[in-house]
A and B are shown apart, each in its own frame.
Chain A
Amino acid sequence: MLKSTRSKEFAIESLLLAVSAVTVVILILISLFLFGEGAALFKDIPFLDFLTGKNWYPTSEPPIFGLLPLLLGTLLVTAGAIIIAVPLGIASAVFISEIAPPKVAEILKPIIEILAGVPSVVYGFFGLVVLIPRLQQLLDLPTGQTALAGSIMLGIMALPTIISISEDAISAVPDFLKEGSLALGATRWQTIYRVTVPAALSGISAAVMLGMGRAIGETMTVMMVTGNAAVIPGFPGGIFAPVKTMTATIALEMGEVPQGSEHYHALFAIGAVLFIITLLINLIAEAVKRKYRFKVGS
């Protein structure tokens, strides 16, 4: 009787292990494929030329595959998105967890989560129809399809991630810290920005990193609003000029690329770089989060 129960347990546990192992195996296979196909590019083109090349001319004769304009395009759009989303996100999180009456917070939280559920093509369409013509008129630009448009849209899209994770971090700050601060005569606002927010800082940093990961990987929206011109963005004027991100390049050029060609391998190489960047960001976010858990526990 006992034995049969135990073997049943064992069977179920092995099944669960196998199912979760499938996820890991899929990830490994995808990485192998991605890096294998990407590495094939470097048989014809030196790795350094790809990484530091200033031009992306995939269809000229001979083609030139320089990652730099795409990499910098992605970084510029992402940095802009973070600059827009972080102050808004942290302010909203502070408001929801510290200032808003519980009833208001209960209404706000689900609304912000709905923001995360809007499909990215809808954001892109909104940007294309509403944001771009206004940006062009307002700033008198040759076109509204700019890195700025991408940053604004991605900033909005990263907000739910940043708000909900920061909010968790802020509400996890133990009450005795705040009470101690208030008892020492600090005002509510002083308590928030001197005690509560610094105590939650590592959680907030993790939120920012995850929001950044969301922005870097986003494809549809940026493809629709950034104009996709593969030029190295200048600083600071580049924010008002079109840029082409790595994700948009893959999505735009994948359709007609002849299988096995240099261009095909170059797109996979971009994918591999993107994979490494997002992996690093997620690892950093995870490390920061772990630090923050330790802090609250002690």
Chain B
Amino acid sequence: MRIETLSRKIVSNVGIYTVILLIIGLSSIGIGCIDKNEQVTESVLIKGSDTVLPLAQAEAETFMIENIDRSITVIGGGSGVGIAALIDGNVDIAMASRSMKGSEIENARDNGIDPIEHTISWDGIAVVVNPNNPVSALSLSQIQGIYNGTISNWKDVGGEDRIITVISRDSSSGTYEYFKEHVLLKEDYRPDTLIQSATGAIVMELSQNKNAIGYIGIAYLDESVKSIVLKTDSSSASPTVENVKNKTYPLARPLYFYTDGEPTGPAKEFIDFVMSPTGQEIVLEVGYIPVA
């Protein structure tokens, strides 16, 4: 009798069980897809900067199409995360949008790791505003003033009488540190700076907000924002690939791969591929600047 009601209950809830089983079943569709070449695959694990991530992914995809017996796994998380993993000996290559700090190199040496730096491309950083903002050129010291809080109104830099809304990435971004070092000259960001967790969010706010100013990698420039021309004493330069390449645009930084000692095996093959003409063409496609 009891068993009968139990089975009746099971039957009446059969729809729910079907859905649950379906979800579990669907989750295992991928079984066998990744490991199928296990015997012949030599894998490389890459981790680090979210700025380098799209580039490394694009490079890895092309590299794996050309070399079916190689498997490359690219994981983001931030420059610091990648470098920490390299120090712990957990990854083959660390991606970074900044150089390793002295303390990090020391830690690595203590762990018997000998970090070697490879510059794989350059990234230009564009200062951007809303397309309806009449201001189109600023000097580095004006931008510094806007970001450290000494300039708060657009009319002080030749614009309309509007309060400036200052936007930055969060402190886990390598771009945040670069900007702090090279534009703010290590001063603090003004405390009421809006902090966005992604470059996409900065572009979104800038495209909607006439008062806003922000900075993004030039790979992210599009029609919805206007890039600011940087004025120096003698000249002015807009953030373009050519200007970064011929060093007339000052806000540019190298992007790095770090390896433990000189790379060997598949890691060396991959880095060689990135540095090859095909690899550097991918750099340009992704929106960064080739080293050569």
Q: Which residues of A have CB within 8 Å of B170?
A: 228, 252-253, 255
Q: Is B281 an interface residue (CB 8 A)?
A: no
Cβ-neighbour of A229 out of B77, B194, B197 (below 8 A): B194
Q: Do A242 and B194 touch (CB < 8 A)?
A: yes
Q: Is A269 an interface residue (CB 8 A)?
A: no
Cβ-neighbour of B194 out of A69, A143, A257 (below 8 A): A143
Cβ-neighbour of A241 out of B192, B204, B205 (below 8 A): B192
User: Residues 194-232 of chain B: 1 if any A CB is under 8 Å from the residue's CB, otherwise 0?
Assistant: 111100010011001101100000000000000000000
Cβ-neighbour of B211 out of A57, A60, A142, A255 (below 8 A): A142
Q: Which residues of A have CB within 8 Å of B191?
A: 55, 57, 69, 229-231
Closest Cβ of chain B to A247, distance in Å, is: 12
Q: Is A145 an interface residue (CB 8 A)?
A: yes
Interchain Cβ contacts within 8 Å, total number = 89
Q: Which of B80, B84, B191, B193 has the most CB of A within 10 A?
A: B191
Q: Do A252 and B212 touch (CB < 8 A)?
A: no
Closest Cβ of chain B to A245, distance in Å, is: 11
Q: Is A136 an interface residue (CB 8 A)?
A: yes
User: Residues 53-78 of chain A: 1 if any B CB is under 8 Å from the residue's CB, otherwise 0?
Assistant: 00101111100000001000000000
Of all chain B residues, which has the CB nearest A129?
Answer: B204
Q: Do A256 and B78 touch (CB < 8 A)?
A: yes
Q: Is B143 an interface residue (CB 8 A)?
A: no
Number of B residues contacting the other chain (C-beta, 8 Å)? Answer: 34
Q: How far is the CA of A264 from the CA of B94 in the complex (A)?
A: 21
Of all chain A residues, which has the CB nearest B164?
Answer: A142
Cβ-neighbour of A231 out of B165, B171, B192, B204 (below 8 A): B192
Q: Do A252 and B192 touch (CB < 8 A)?
A: no
Known pairs A136-B208, A223-B197 / 7 extra A-B pairs, C-beta < 8 Å? A55-B191, A128-B201, A143-B165, A145-B205, A224-B201, A229-B194, A230-B195
Closest Cβ of chain A to B106, distance in Å, is: 13
Q: Do A142 and B163 touch (CB < 8 A)?
A: yes
Q: Do A256 and B80 touch (CB < 8 A)?
A: yes
Q: Do B195 and A132 touch (CB < 8 A)?
A: no
Near A by CB (< 8 A), chain B positions 118-153 give: none
Q: Which residues of B have CB within 8 Å of A136?
A: 208-209
Q: Do A257 and B197 touch (CB < 8 A)?
A: no
Q: Do A59 and B180 touch (CB < 8 A)?
A: yes
Closest Cβ of chain B to A38, distance in Å, is: 19
Q: Which of A60, A69, A256, A257 has the most CB of B within 10 A?
A: A256
Cβ-neighbour of B195 out of A61, A143, A252, A254 (below 8 A): A252
Q: Is A213 an interface residue (CB 8 A)?
A: no
Of all chain B residues, which has the CB nearest A137?
Answer: B208
Near A by CB (< 8 A), chain B positions 59-118 give: 77-81, 84
Number of A residues contacting the other chain (C-beta, 8 Å)? Answer: 35
Of all chain A residues, which has the CB nearest B174?
Answer: A256
Q: Is A271 an interface residue (CB 8 A)?
A: no
Q: How far is the CA of A252 from the CA of B186 in the complex (A)?
A: 20
Near B by CB (< 8 A), chain A positions 109-146 give: 128-129, 132-133, 136, 142-145
Q: How far is the CA of A258 from the CA of B102 in the complex (A)?
A: 13
Of all chain A residues, which has the CB nearest B98?
Answer: A256
List 6 contacting pairs A-B, 8 Å CB cutoff, sorted by A.
Answer: A59-B188, A60-B188, A129-B204, A244-B195, A253-B172, A256-B81
Q: Which residues of B have CB within 8 Å of A144?
A: 208-209
User: Residues 158-175 of chain B: 1 if any A CB is under 8 Å from the residue's CB, otherwise 0?
Assistant: 000011110000111110
Known pairs A60-B188, A128-B201; A145 contacts B194 (CB<8 A): yes
Q: How far is the CA of A256 from the CA of B175 in the complex (A)?
A: 12
Q: Which residues of B have CB within 8 Å of A177?
A: none
Near B by CB (< 8 A), chain A positions 245-298 give: 251-259
Q: Which residues of A have CB within 8 Å of B212?
A: 143
Near B by CB (< 8 A), chain A positions 137-179 give: 142-145
Q: Which residues of A have CB within 8 Å of B172?
A: 252-257
Q: Which residues of B have CB within 8 Å of A128?
A: 201, 204-205
Q: How far is the CA of A144 from the CA of B188 in the complex (A)?
A: 24
Q: Is A227 an interface residue (CB 8 A)?
A: yes
Q: Do A258 and B186 touch (CB < 8 A)?
A: no
Q: How far is the CA of A61 from the CA of B180 in the complex (A)?
A: 12
Q: Do B186 and A61 touch (CB < 8 A)?
A: yes
Q: Do A142 and B195 touch (CB < 8 A)?
A: no
Closest Cβ of chain A to B169, distance in Å, is: 9
Known pairs A143-B205, A255-B77, A256-B80; A227 contacts B194 (CB<8 A): yes
